[in-house]
């Protein structure tokens, strides 16, 4: 990834969803790079919470509902961000089925609220709106999705994120392009890593079951997803934000996913996870339980590779190994902050080594 560490020093950065799993990792990484980070999010929604384990709080000026337009606008005008990462979302497929209107409200109207606040803010230069790999119309063809493929969304969560893409495109063409403010959407695959305790996510569900000596119930073991460590897309988002700062014109959307050969079934990932966790029982379903979910979903990240220098760094085996070792170590009393910083430094160090090898080569 073409990402200049010195670029971030002293930059005013707003992270929405900063109390969530990805937002907590991103906030920590940005602060390590010297950025002045502010947040905008609900209070942590899980117990444990990575945000709290990393030293965050349950209250404060950044604890704001993205649906509260006045509060969002006030916060944006007060913090005057130069760079914005919009991660705040209702991010679960099954929760979208249970609460579809709330999902649309958070993901569509919440995105519009933020962009409308940024429309009247001074100093903003770069905006990355994070959506999902599920924004595409999925006809289950077995082909990897490219950024030019049509948007869709069978379920409320996926459709809400596709709608957020349209909202972002509208604000870019109507308001931001003329002011030379870069705005792009980022579509990432399934992320895993230490510190995720959300419900209805594969690795957190497995950790909860196995730590409690219970059998993990697996609904769709044959579903294929583009798994990646959480640091992979976050590095992509930061590289994209830097590019938008430098070249705001003509950049619209990017996929951030692993190599095609790294996509794997739920069952395969769980077998790796069980081995690195040190044991755990599971019962594999036949794929018919619960509401509809995509069976095959893979991203083509060639555009990000060509334009941004995006290059996945950890293979799936390393990703699962690190994730399960993180949970095991944290459960044995190691500090989440130390574990996260260790992963960030290993990840960034590998990037530096690869860049030096390419330059020599």
Picking from 324, 312, 239, the residue whose alpha carbon sits closest to that of residue 277 is 324
Residues with Cβ within 8 Å of 63's Cβ and at least 6 positions away in sequence, in order, are 19, 41, 42, 43
For the chain, the residue count is 361
Q: Are 330 and 196 in contact (CB under 8 A)?
A: no
Q: How far apart are CA 361 and CA 359, in angstroms?
A: 5
- Burial (CB < 10 A; 0-12, 13-18, 19+), residue 101, is exposed
Q: How far apart are CA 118 and CA 69, in angstroms?
A: 12
Strand, coil or helix: 292: coil
Which structure tokens are listed for 49? 């919470």
* CA terminus-to-terminus distance, the chain: 17
Q: CB 74: neighbour CB atoms within 10 A?
A: 14
- Burial (CB < 10 A; 0-12, 13-18, 19+), residue 353, is exposed
| Exposure string for 284-304, b = 16+ CB within 10 A, e = fewer | eeeeeeeeebbebbbbbbeeb
Active site residue 136: no
Q: Are 182 and 247 in contact (CB under 8 A)?
A: yes
Which structure tokens are listed for 34? 């010297």
Q: Are 346 and 31 in contact (CB under 8 A)?
A: no
Helix (H) or strand (E) holding 183: strand 182-188
- Burial (CB < 10 A; 0-12, 13-18, 19+), residue 213, is exposed
Catalytic-labelled residue, pool 104, 136, 157, 310:
157
Q: Which residues are identified as catalytic? A: 157
């Amino acid at each position: 990834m073409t990402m200049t560490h010195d670029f971030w020093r002293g930059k005013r950065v707003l992270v929405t969803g900063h109390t969530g799993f990805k937002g907590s990792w991103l906030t920590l990484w940005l602060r390590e790079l010297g950025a002045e980070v502010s947040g905008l999010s609900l209070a942590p929604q899980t117990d444990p919470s990575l945000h709290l384990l990393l030293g965050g709080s349950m209250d404060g000026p950044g604890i704001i509902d993205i649906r509260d337009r006045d509060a969002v606008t006030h916060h944006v005008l007060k913090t005057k961000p130069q760079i914005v990462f919009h991660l705040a979302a209702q991010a679960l497929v099954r929760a979208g089925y249970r609460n579809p209107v709330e999902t649309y409200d958070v993901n569509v109207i919440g995105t519009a609220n933020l962009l409308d606040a940024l429309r009247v803010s001074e100093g903003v230069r770069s905006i990355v709106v994070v959506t999902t790999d599920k924004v595409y119309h999925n006809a289950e063809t077995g082909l990897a999705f490219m950024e030019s493929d049509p948007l869709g969304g069978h379920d409320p969560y996926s459709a809400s994120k596709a709608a957020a893409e349209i909202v972002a495109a509208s604000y870019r063409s109507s308001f931001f392009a003329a002011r030379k403010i870069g705005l792009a959407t980022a579509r990432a695959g399934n992320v895993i890593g230490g510190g995720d305790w959300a419900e209805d996510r594969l690795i957190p569900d497995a950790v909860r079951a196995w730590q409690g000596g219970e059998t993990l119930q697996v609904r769709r073991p044959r579903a294929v997803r583009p798994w990646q460590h959480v640091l992979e897309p976050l590095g992509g988002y930061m590289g994209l934000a830097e590019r938008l700062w430098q070249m705001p014109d003509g950049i619209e959307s990017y996929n951030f996913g692993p190599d095609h050969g790294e996509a794997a079934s739920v069952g395969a990932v769980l077998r790796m996870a069980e081995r690195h966790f040190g044991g755990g029982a599971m019962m594999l379903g036949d794929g018919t339980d619960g509401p509809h979910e995509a069976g095959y979903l893979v991203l083509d990240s060639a555009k990000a590779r060509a334009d941004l220098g995006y290059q996945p760094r950890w293979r799936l085996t390393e990703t699962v190994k690190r994730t399960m070792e993180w949970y095991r170590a944290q459960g044995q009393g190691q500090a989440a902050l130390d574990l996260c910083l260790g992963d960030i430094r290993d990840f960034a160090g590998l990037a530096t080594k690869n860049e030096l090898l390419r330059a020599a080569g």
